[in-house]
Chains A and B, each alone.
Chain A
């Protein structure tokens, strides 16, 4: 199940289940979104991206859904494996004077064998 603490919310699932990680982004003008996976003590690793002119994109075992109406992103991981345990962040490409990548709050996924 999901729990929210003072910092990172956590999601615990059983191996083989499908996982859904949600993210709210802040800027309606953002035109590009990325999901990253971060393992302890490492930098973020690219998972999948989506442009604002799309509402769904599929990769290998992962799907990203974009709902611009409510500024919401989700990452679906099929057949979750223990190796998927990590912290997941969404990031939005904010347009302005210079484009910058701003990260959402993140969620820790724990996959139980």
Chain B
């Protein structure tokens, strides 16, 4: 299947700093990418849908000014967690869609201290 690469796989940052997570589709072009957040022992919660060349669509309750999404090319979407706080600590997962199938990155474990 298609490969989606997410980087970094884990990051520790201080409160108040910003963190950028990259999601790349390596062998296909993805017009749509999705960003999810997953807390321990819970399901994946959709945060936003990222469309190449346009603004992201955020799910209800997700702060667009805190979670900045950029989808500048057909193979790259980035999620920036701005002014991170300990409650932002979570597992962030991206997904890229090729027709119907969705392929997932390996996830990024963010710890804010």
Chain A contacts for B51, CB-based, 8 A: 98
Chain A contacts for B32, CB-based, 8 A: 98-99
Chain A contacts for B101, CB-based, 8 A: 46, 49
Query: In the complex where A41-B109, A46-B1, A100-B49 touch, is A34 in contact with B42 (Cβ < 8 A)?
Result: no
Interface range, A side: 20 to 34
B22 CB → nearest A CB, Å: 14
Q: How far is the CA of A45 from the CA of B106 in the complex (A)?
A: 9
Chain B contacts for A42, CB-based, 8 A: 106-107
Q: Do A44 and B44 touch across chains, with their CB atoms under 8 A apart?
A: yes
Q: Do B34 and A98 touch across chains, with their CB atoms under 8 A apart?
A: no
**Top 10 A-B residue pairs of the complex, sorted by shortest distance between their CB atoms:** A43-B104, A7-B41, A103-B44, A43-B107, A103-B43, A106-B43, A8-B41, A44-B104, A43-B106, A43-B93
Q: Do B105 and A101 touch across chains, with their CB atoms under 8 A apart?
A: no
Chain A contacts for B104, CB-based, 8 A: 36, 43-45
Chain B binding surface SS class: strand
B107 CB → nearest A CB, Å: 5
Q: Which residues of B contact A (CB under 8 A)?
A: 1, 4, 6, 32, 34, 36, 40-46, 49, 51, 57, 91, 93, 95, 97, 100-107, 109
Chain A contacts for B57, CB-based, 8 A: 97-98
Chain A to chain B contacts (Cβ below 8 Å), 8 pairs: A7-B40, A7-B41, A7-B42, A41-B107, A42-B106, A100-B46, A101-B34, A103-B43
Query: In the complex where A34-B102, A46-B1, A93-B100 touch, is A101 in contact with B46 (Cβ < 8 A)?
Result: yes
Chain A contacts for B100, CB-based, 8 A: 32, 49, 93
Query: In the complex where A49-B101, A98-B49 touch, is A44 in contact with B42 (Cβ < 8 A)?
Result: no
Q: Do A104 and B109 touch across chains, with their CB atoms under 8 A apart?
A: no
B31 CB → nearest A CB, Å: 10
